[in-house]
Amino acid sequence: MQITLAAAQYQVIRDRLHALDPDLDEQTLADTLEGLTNLHEILAAVVRAALADEAQASGLRALIGALETRLERQEYRAAKRRDMVRDAMVESEIKKIAAPDFTLVIRSGSPALVVTDEGAIPTEFWLPRAPRLDRQGLLTRLKLGDEVSGAQLSNPQPVLSVRIK
C-alpha cells in the first residue's frame, strides 16, 4: 500500500538526517521531513476519506432511522386495517368473503398467555440464563487500581484525534 511505502521512506530519511546531525531538534527534523516526503499528504488524504465515509455513514444512519419509522407506521396501519375488517365481519356475522385475489375467513383464535403473577409461576417454567461477563464493571474496578484475578488492563494504545474546524 502507498502508506506503507511512504512511511518506510519517511523513516529512512528520518534516520539518515538524525545520523547526520544528532543534535537536530524535533521541530526542525519534522519540518525537514515534511518537505522531503509525501507521507503527510497521504495520511491527510486517508483521513479525508475516513471523514467522508463517516459522513456517509451518519447520513445512512439518519435515513435508516427515518425508514424504520416509516416501516413502523406502515405496519401499524396494516394491523389497524386488518383489525377493522375483522371487527366488522364479526359484528356483521360474516364468516367468509371470497375476493378474486384473496379469501377472508373468520375462525376461532387460540387462547393467549396472560401472566397475572410472575412470582407464583413454578421454577420449571423459568429458563436459566448463561452468565455474562460485566466488562464495564470489571474495567471500572481495574481502573480504580483493584486487582482482579483473570483480568488486567492493557498498555494504552495511541489514539488518532481528528478535529474539524
For the chain, the structural domain boundaries read 2-108
Environment class of 32 (CB within 10 Å of its CB; exposed 0-12, middle 13-18, buried 19+): middle
Asked if residue 151 lies in contact with residue 40, where contact means CB atoms within 8 angstroms, the answer is no
List beta partners, residue 105: 96
CA–CA separation, 2 vs 42, rounded Å? 8
Tens-place pLDDT, residues 138-161: 999 999 999 999 999 999 887 877
CA–CA separation, 42 vs 44, rounded Å? 5
Give me 22's grid cell. Answer: 544528532
Say what the pLDDT of residue 74 is. Answer: 98
Say what the pLDDT of residue 141 is. Answer: 94
Q: Kindly report the pTM of this predicted structure.
A: 0.56
Which residues of the chain fall short of a pLDDT of 50? none
